[in-house]
Structure 1
Amino acid sequence: MWARWVLAVYLIGFLEGSCVHILDVARDGIHAYASFPQVPLQVFFVSLAILDPLVAVLVGLVRREGVWLASAVMATDVFANWWGNRHWLQDDPARLVWLSPITFFGLFVVAFLLPLHRTVARTASSPQTAPAA
């Protein structure tokens, strides 16, 4: 049962991220993240308009690949946000509050990587269609 709740939180988080990144790119195109001076960060954040929905689909289908991709995306996303905002954090430490939701969600996703992967893998090898806990 716990795995269903964890997958639901993953799904909600990645659907929210999908909406944010898709709307940003729809509004401002490939320059949506021009406020970040590092081009690799800009490219990464634009790519989240594709990666976040992909993770949501794979997690919604209860695929092991979705669990791994979710962790990779969130680890990179948290790192990119902290790296890209480091100068603002030095100038105004109160901005830590702004990074808290993505950081906590990223920690949640990574913390459940192995237990969720094991549960989903067991489910995939059994005739059930949803993970049991």
Structure 2
Amino acid sequence: MGGGSRPRWAWWVSAWYVVGFAEGAGAHAYFVVTGGLRAYDYAPGATQLLFHGLLVLDPLVVALVARGRAGGPLLAAVVMVADMLANWWVQWDAVLADPVAHLRPVGLSTITVFGVFVLATAFPLHRALVSSGQQHRRTPEAESDP
């Protein structure tokens, strides 16, 4: 992953972002391949658009974070807020009906845990990427100094 001198913790957080968003992209691709454009018919229209949009947004986050771009963590936070809200909205009645069923390590619980992780780390990671990027940038003034 790009970023040169990013701190070790930032490298690990970035790696988790890449794994998490790549898994999300894979899951959404699987749903569309197996269910077609109607894969999310159970959800309201705006949620369906979001879930289809994650086919583009998740890989975009992966690319930005893997390349050490400071905007990657911020986009990741926005994507996770939207994804968590949409999933909780769609599954709220099921959670109320059987809360224990949602404690397994897949689906809503995993999305929520990963989302909280992203929200807790997005701004520190953004700052680390900005700092590491500025260390490697050359300004025209710095290049003209003897």
TM-score norm. by structure 1 comes to: 0.90
2:58 to 19, 39, 52: 52
Residue identity (%)? 40
- Larger mean Cα displacement after TM superposition, 79-88 or 119-128: 119-128
Q: Secondary structure at the match of 2:33?
A: helix
Question: Counterpart of 1:31 in structure 2: which amino acid?
Answer: R
**Distance (Å, rounded) in 2 between the aligned partners of 1:23 and 1:99:** 17
Deviations 1:43-77 (A, max 9, x none): 11111111111111111111111111101001111
Contact residue 72 and residue 126 of structure 2 kept, 8 A: no
- Cα offset, 1:95, TM superposition: 3.2
1:90 to 96, 99, 105: 96
Q: What stretches of structure 2 of length at least 5 have no aligned partner?
A: 1-7, 138-146
Partner of 2:48: 42
Contact residue 32 and residue 46 of structure 1 kept, 8 A: no
Cα root mean square deviation, aligned: 1.3
Q: Structure 1 runs of 4+ off > 6 angstroms?
A: none
1:107 aligns with 2:116: yes
**Distance (Å, rounded) in 1 between the aligned partners of 2:10 and 2:77:** 15
Partner of 1:64: 70
- Larger mean Cα displacement after TM superposition, 4-13 or 94-103: 94-103
- Cα offset, 1:79, TM superposition: 0.9
Which structure's CA Rg is the greater one?
A: 2
Count of residues in Structure 1 that have an aligned counterpart in Structure 2? 127
**Distance (Å, rounded) in 1 between the aligned partners of 2:97 and 2:128:** 44
TM-score norm. by structure 2 comes to: 0.82
Q: What stretches of structure 1 of length at least 5 have no aligned partner?
A: 129-133
Deviations 1:81-105 (A, max 9, x none): 1111011111111233242111010
2:83 to 77, 81, 84: 77
